[in-house]
Amino acid sequence: MAGEFSRRTEGLLDQAETVCEHRGAKLTELRRHVLGLVLDAAAPTGAYELLDRLRQSRRGAAPPTVYRALDFLLEQGLIHRVERLSSFVGCVAGCTTGHGEGESHTHAAQFLICRQCGKVTEMQDADVTAVLARAAKEAGFSISGATIEAEGLCGACRSASARRPAG
């Protein structure tokens, strides 16, 4: 039954399904459902919160249910894990970008976490990735994946606190 999620989300889910097919991976109903929950959420979402939402239509769902789905989605690069928040966000690029088959599909992403409003922004800055890779290489290290998460103030909160300094 299509229509569980917003029109935009359903569109992304369809694209994700196509991408998975091309890779020979199966975006099952459960996995599609969990991905939908992640994509529909306004902010990074914890596994147990996803579990609660999943239970609204899938009685008897348990932690392994959601964690197995999340593991699959992570492997496919359809979602990211934000370590600092122990939570998960959708990767728009992952839902729309095709890759070669049989590869790892993790994207190089960076997250900006506002300590004021909690908003999380995803970047995909090639320079950041490249400079880190170069620095690692100088240490004899070859990178396969990286977690880059910055905490600070987003533009909105920064200008707000500039107007009300002690805010």
Partner DNA sequence: CATAATCTGTAATGCTATAACGTCCGCTAC
Partner DNA sequence: GTAGCGGACGTTATAGCATTACAGATTATG
CB of 31 to DNA, least distance (A): 6
* DSSP three-state, residue 31: helix
CB of 142 to DNA, least distance (A): 24
| 82: β partners | 87
Decide: is 102 part of the binding site for its own copies (CB under 8 A). no
CB of 62 to DNA, least distance (A): 4
Residue of 122, 145, 121 lying closest to 133 (CA atoms): 145
CA atoms within 13 A on the CB side of 94: 21
In this complex, which beta carbon is closest to DNA, that of residue 47 or of residue 148?
Answer: 47
148 binds, among DNA, its own copies, none (CB under 5 to 8 A by kind): its own copies
In this complex, which beta carbon is closest to DNA, that of residue 9 or of residue 87?
Answer: 87
The CA-based dihedral angle spanning residues 14, 94, 61, 81, taken in that order and rounded to the nearest 10 degrees: -160
Sign of torsion over alpha carbons 138, 80, 98, 29: positive
In this complex, which beta carbon is closest to its own copies, that of residue 64 or of residue 145?
Answer: 145
Tokens, residue 58: 């899938």
8 A C-beta contact, residue 143 and residue 133 = yes
Draw the binding track, 120-159, toward its own copies (x: CB under 8 A; -: no contact). -x-x-x-xx--xx-xxx--xxxxxxxxxxxxxxxxx--x-
Residues that bind its own copies (CB under 8 A): 83-84, 110, 112, 114-115, 121, 123, 125, 127-128, 131-132, 134-136, 139-155, 158
